Amino acid sequence: QPRCPVSTVTAALRPSVCSGRTAAAAVVAGRRRRESRGLRWEPRLASGRGRFPGKPAEGEVPGLPCGLLAGGTREPSSDTVVFDPARGQAVRLGSQGNPPRSHHDAAPVGGRWLCVVGGWDGSRRLATVTALDTERGVWEAWTATPGDCPPTGLSSHTCTRISDRELQVAGREGGIHTQRRYGSIYTLRLDPSARTYCYKQEGCHIASRSGHCAALLQTPGPHPGHQLLLFGGCNLAEPEVARHWSHGKIKEEPPVAPHLMEQLARLVSSGQGSQKGPHGLRHHSCSVVGPFAVLFGGETLTRARDTICNDLYIYDTRTSPPLWFHFPCADRGMKRVGHRTCLWNDQLYLVGGFGEDGRTASPQVCILDFLI
């Protein structure tokens, strides 16, 4: 079993997708605001139940397997949850073939499928691809093609969407006793029409990481390319460049959150940047907002007690070298590990995860609000 009880939720962008232990969540809209140097997390959830109605309605965010429902649990959940941001409502779905998963990651493909990659199924680490067909409301086990060279098993890895036919998978392979001293990068090619996939291992190696996060960001300059950065998951403070693409190799997409991007720019303009980022952070969240990578929470490896964090970090790539901005939070009730942040409708949502004790799953869904 993976050592850290992480990932009650999974997130991906365009469209953002979240899953979590939210089906039986309490109404939290009346709770007090969480404030921290110009920003706060504000609750946005009412509870609900129902059956999967086929294709999600406009404005709904399709869900994914929940992962672990409590710290120390050995068996992952096979629940699937959909969250409607407009109504502030989370509903457990009745979709068929829900795979039990934890420590997985996921990506949206073709505006129809939610592809779950790897994870722990209660007995072993997987490298398979399972997809939720949101039009039919069923889970499908996709098939590996001839020539597939999969990892030996993935958990607490990252899966980053490059296009509807290509994902980048990064992290350690195997269990505690079989893990190498380095991590691996795989290109995962998808064929949604055939429901097939194929892994190809890249020649480069990365630092041995687990519980890290990944961000696909543009490189500065007159002809910007893209780079895949890895944050945390080991004792390193600096982000690691896992892959680089020259100008034109990755299709440019318009900003998904222009107002939020403007708010983040105003926030960092009032702070003091540093070239040193968080040291030894894992099982935190990361969302890309234009030129910013926004990290929140997680577990620190730098101290033996009070290891669950509630700090927000902004990585600003508009400067060379990029700068870090740190915004601590005084509210211990916002400590999170194994959560996710998701972009939706120009807002950043905080979903699920475990609280200060690292064992109690949080039923809250909050949005990041600014006091500027």
Whether cis (ω within 30° of 0) applies to the bond prior to 239 is no
CA distance 231 to 168: 15
**When comparing pLDDT for 213 and 22, which is higher?**
213
Give the rounded percent of residues in the chain with a pLDDT score beyond 90: 52
Distance CA 67, CA 98 (A): 12
pLDDT digits (tens, 9 = 90+) for 121-170: 989 999 999 999 989 888 999 999 999 999 988 999 999 999 999 999 99
The distance of Cα 299 from the centroid of its chain, to the nearest Å, equals 15
For residue 29, the model assigns a pLDDT of: 25
Q: What confidence score (pLDDT) does residue 151 get?
A: 92
Q: Which among 129, 108, 7 has a CA at the least distance from the CA of 61?
A: 108
pLDDT given at position 176: 56
Amino acid 63: pLDDT: 52
Name the DSSP class of 220. Answer: P
Q: Per residue, what are the HEC states of 29-50?
A: CCCCCEEECCEEEEECCEECCC
Average pLDDT, the chain: 81
Written as six digits, the tokens of 301 are 């490896």
What's the predicted TM-score (pTM) here?
0.84
Question: Residues 181-193: pLDDT tens digits?
Answer: 788 999 999 999 9
Share of the chain above pLDDT 70, in %: 80
> Mean per-residue pLDDT for 262-273?
93
Average pLDDT over residues 334-359: 93
Tell how strand 125-133 and strand 105-109 pair up: unpaired
pLDDT, one tens digit per residue, over 24-39 is: 222 222 233 344 456 7
Element (H, E) at 219: none
According to DSSP, residue 274 is labeled: B
Asked if the model's pLDDT at residue 6 lies above 50, the reply is: no
| Number of neighbouring beta carbons within 10 Å of residue 311 | 19
**The pLDDT value given to residue 2:** 43
The whole-angstrom separation of Cα 20 and Cα 83 is 9
Residue 164, number of CB atoms within 10 A of its CB: 15
pLDDT band at 56 (very low <50, low <70, confident <90, very high): very low
